[in-house]
Structure 1
Amino acid sequence: MELTADTGTRMVCDVVPQCEQPGSGPVAFGQAMALDSAFSLRGAGDLITETVHLTPLTHLAVTLAERSSDGLSPRALADAYQTVEGWFGLAAGSMRLAPPDLTRLDDLGSVTADALQVAIANAAFLALVNDNAQWNTISEVLIDLVNQTRETGQISLMGDGTNVSLADLIATAAVQASALQATVHSSTISQKLVVVEYSNVQHFKTIADVYDETDTIVADTDGTANDTADDTSGDTTTDTSLDNTQDSIADTTGSDTTTGDDSTTDTVADSGTGTDASEPPANEITPEEILVSNTALLSWTAPLTRENGESLAMGEIAGFEVVYGTSADSLDQSLAIGDASVDQLLVDELSTGTWYFAIRTLDTNGNRSRLSEVVHKQI
């Protein structure tokens, strides 16, 4: 499928605070803007069994798939989508999610961090026009990236001063994730935007590390290229956030409960499995405005059973409580999360030293599980 622009085509500006328009005034965030005649977006898939979204990312994926000897076959498209997800540090399969409208996030009933990250990655193509005088329109950015992909099956990691680089887009996405936090009232969505910002910062760091080690640029279109893309994605979304901590972090599944009163013991779910965050990015790599150097990103899995073995539905979970402090024996600070669907929390403004964290589950009857085992992070 291909969408092309004519004189009546409009796109909503989803870049904070505005979209720059050469030869005319800027267009404010959330307002419609005209597109030039060179603009086009492509996507591909089985229109009988799936909804095909047309975005800058799918546009690149189709270009990549066309380089395959199989053409636009299901296998070539699947590989291309996976490769592009690896380029941008996205979760597997996330490019097939419906991108949420970034200009109306508070109107959404719920949205995942993965879907937000995809939408912000797509918005970065347009945001890059604001940040670099070399690019006047989103069409120019897309054409440059398509040409790189078509010619080599690759995107330059750090750029050569002429072409758009992957680092340009990732850094711009991180800045946009940060800026979007000021546009929403929902604390849940704001928290997920923080997670997306942090993920992009970490991905930027990984790209810079790879660039320091080798001149190789990301991905290719055949079977061996997916290994490169997967490694790049894995380093940011899994390896850097887990490998640094698993050696010193035990499974944090609780087993006991606390009660609402002295006479009744109502069991609540175990407190889930917690995981400490990755090392923060170094100052010399991450742009100062998106640096998250004194934070810990915690993640957990909502429990499926109560501590007495009874099943626990998501609708019975009221939320979670994260407690933390500078001593494992004195977790004197706490953060309440009143949404059972939240599974990550970024704790910021941590001073230098070792910080310890634990979590408990709260149910809709006011019962609380005992605390999970304690995890820690050195700041």
Structure 2
Amino acid sequence: MSKLGKKLLKQGALLVPMAAFLSGCGLDASDNGRVTEAQTSGAGEPTAQVAGAAIKGVIQQGVVTANRLLEDKSGYYAPDRLAAKPVRTADDGSYELQLRGKASGWALVELRADGSTRMVCDVVPGCDQVGGSQVAFGQTLSLDGEFVLRGAGDLATETVHLTPLTHLAVTLAERSDQGLSPAALAEGYQTVENWFGLSAGALSLVPPDLTRLDELGEVSADALQVAITNAAFLALVNDNAQWQSISDVLNDMSAQIMASGQLDITGDGTTVALADIVAASAAQASELQLTTESSIISQKLVIVEYRNVQRFKTIADVYDGSDSGDTSVADTTEPPTTEPEPQPTIPADAALLSWTAPLTRENGESLSMGEIAGFEVVYGQSADALDHSIAIGDASVDELLVDQLSEGTWYFAMRTLDIDGNRSVLSEMVSKQI
């Protein structure tokens, strides 16, 4: 399930429901066993495991370290001393570390490249490299010594994946007055998901290997979208002379985030723009459809392409402020309709919902867009049991593609959420036969 279209805004008190419209895981790899044994051989000392995958494409033999994030007396969170010996990522990008201490609190995990590190090219048709010929899709290339990926997670509940997107999220969290606090990190992850039109929690999904799509079996469109967005960072190197490596792209975007907490929207010819990544993601989703024989995977790639095309169409309006103060939305007391406006073809197992945000509260008071925190979509195969839900924490989103629906009739309704935690009653229901 994934968000499309305009970002959502936050609400205030109890709101009138909006109208809904329905359309449709220097050491060699052989040292890993000795490293693990050394880490766990303490005399009864408790340990916490942190595991995950480093994927941009798949990163092999990357050096991974981890630090606990500790709070000082002023409430500022920063990395503690190194809590685990370094390990290298496996051929599939996975890693596993044993940290000294209990499985509580948060950890910062970092991957660095050295002379042994290789990355699988996940860009179709290939990946440009400095001073060399293009590396074909699915083959490996070396990484420069500046290449770094970071991620963070709760030791009690999460794996920690390392991707360009998690790296940006950690960079964003560093700007917080509390440093790398759990709250700042959670907010950073959510913000990056919103920037790229990803579903909530998407950065916690393990990105699949795009070079082995037909071997995947089950994979969600959300996980594919995450992997393709990560691939787009390197795709930009192919198309732009000013960026010689993925490190150039990451460093440019990280500098923007540290300076302003935002990314450039459409670019000025010298900086990496959000629109650049989204456009490259759409192109890669299209190209990848030619590399797979699986009709199921191909259909999900169509979904990812569609999401990115729609995101690209609205991204400038979302971030340049042109949607603030918009008073053109319809009064949501009007009943919903099942008659869609013309839309691009969507998969047969998907429904496209669109809506307009409310202008008034249920008591008749006016409601500004800045008071809207987001929306909740509820749905199910019975009008009396809407047992699925999707929370949208971005009030400028006005469309949602709900995919992977089984055969039968599906019913949908929505409610508005405000910045004070109030919830509106549900909107009237719409339905679609799958």
Band of TM-score, shorter chain: 0.5 to 0.7
Aligned to 1:193: 301
Residues 1:248 and 2:337 aligned together:
yes
Q: Distance in 1 between matches of 2:223 and 2:260?
A: 29
Alignment of 1:1-379 (within 5 A): 1-210=109-318, 214=322, 247-249=336-338, 280=343, 294-296=344-346, 299-300=350-351, 342-343=404-405, 360=408
Q: What is the TM-score with the length of structure 1 in the denominator?
A: 0.61
Structure 1 or 2: larger strand share?
Answer: 2
By how many angstroms is 1:295 displaced? 2.4
Distance 1:248-1:52 versus aligned 2 partners, 3 A rule: same
By how many angstroms is 1:69 displaced? 1.0
Q: Distance in 2 between matches of 1:14 and 1:132?
A: 17
RMSD of equivalent CA atoms:
3.2
Secondary structure of 2:111's partner?
A: strand
Q: Give, as a single letter, the amino acid of the residue that structure 2 aligns with 1:295.
A: T
The answer on whether the counterparts of 2:303 and 2:346 sit within 8 Å (CA) in structure 1 is no
Secondary structure of 1:183's partner?
A: coil
Q: Give, as a single letter, the amino acid of the residue that structure 2 aligns with 1:103.
A: T
Q: Give, as a single letter, the amino acid of the residue that structure 2 aligns with 1:342.
A: Q
Structure 1 or 2: larger helix share?
Answer: 1
Q: Distance in 1 between matches of 2:151 and 2:258?
A: 15
Secondary structure of 1:33's partner?
A: strand
Aligned to 2:72: none
Q: Distance in 2 between matches of 1:212 and 1:10?
A: 38
Q: Give, as a single letter, the amino acid of the residue that structure 1 aligns with 2:272.
A: V
Q: Distance in 2 between matches of 1:5 and 1:66?
A: 22
By how many angstroms is 1:45 displaced? 1.1
Q: Give, as a single letter, the amino acid of the residue that structure 2 aligns with 1:184.
A: T
Which runs of no fewer than 5 residues in structure 2 stay unpaired?
Answer: 1-108, 352-377, 385-402, 410-429
By how many angstroms is 1:22 displaced? 1.9
Which runs of no fewer than 5 residues in structure 1 stay unpaired?
Answer: 217-227, 229-238, 251-275, 281-293, 310-340, 345-358, 362-371
Q: Distance in 2 between matches of 1:194 and 1:140?
A: 30
Post-superposition Cα deviations, 1:101-129, rounded to whole Å, max 9, x if no partner, equal 11111111201111111111111101110
Structure with higher RCO (Cα < 8 A, 6+ apart): 2
Post-superposition Cα deviations, 1:47-76, rounded to whole Å, max 9, x if no partner, equal 342110000000000000010111111111
Q: Distance in 2 between matches of 1:174 and 1:53?
A: 23
Calculate percent identity across the aligned residue pairs: 60
Distance 1:374-1:170 versus aligned 2 partners, 3 A rule: closer
Q: What is the TM-score with the length of structure 2 in the denominator?
A: 0.54
The answer on whether the counterparts of 1:302 and 1:343 sit within 8 Å (CA) in structure 2 is no
By how many angstroms is 1:208 displaced? 3.1
